[in-house]
Structure 1
Amino acid sequence: MKLLLISSSGGHFNALCQLTSFWQNHDRQWVTFPTATTRNYLAQEEVHWAFGPTNRNLPNLCRNLGLAVRIIYQERPDMVITTGAGVAVPFLLFAKLLGIKTIFIESFTRVNDLSLSAKLILPCIDVLYVQWKQLQQRYPQAKLIEVLAQ
Structure 2
Amino acid sequence: MKKDKMELKVCLVGSSGGHLSHLYMLKPFWGNKERFWVTFDKEDAKSLLKGEKMYPCYYPTNRSLKALLKNTRLAIKVLRKEKPDLIISSGAAVAVPFFYLGKLFGAKTIYIEVFDRIDKPTLTGRMVYPITDKFIVQWKEQTQVYKKAINLGSIF
TM-score bracket, normalised by the shorter chain, equals: over 0.9
**Range that drifts further, 84-93 or 138-147:** 138-147
What's 1:67 paired with? 74
**Range that drifts further, 134-143 or 46-55:** 134-143
- Residue identity opposite 1:17 in structure 2: Y
- Residue identity opposite 1:140 in structure 2: K
- Asked if residue 130 in structure 1 is aligned to residue 137 in structure 2, the reply is yes
Query: RMSD between aligned alpha carbons?
Result: 1.3
Quote the Cα distance in structure 2 between the aligned partners of 1:16 and 1:119.
19
Superposition misfits of 4+ residues, deviation over 6 angstroms:
none
Q: Which runs of 5+ in 1 are unaligned?
A: none
> TM-score under structure 1 normalisation?
0.95
Quote the Cα distance in structure 2 between the aligned partners of 1:37 and 1:148.
20
**Range that drifts further, 58-67 or 130-139:** 130-139
What's 1:140 paired with? 147
What's 2:53 paired with? 46
What's 2:95 paired with? 88
Residue among 11, 15, 19 paired with 1:12: 19
- Residue identity opposite 2:110 in structure 1: I
Q: Sequence identity of aligned pairs in percent?
A: 40
Aligned pair count?
149
> TM-score under structure 2 normalisation?
0.91
- Asked if residue 29 in structure 1 is aligned to residue 36 in structure 2, the reply is yes
Quote the Cα distance in structure 2 between the aligned partners of 1:76 and 1:148.
27
- Residue identity opposite 1:123 in structure 2: P
Quote the Cα distance in structure 2 between the aligned partners of 1:78 and 1:43.
23
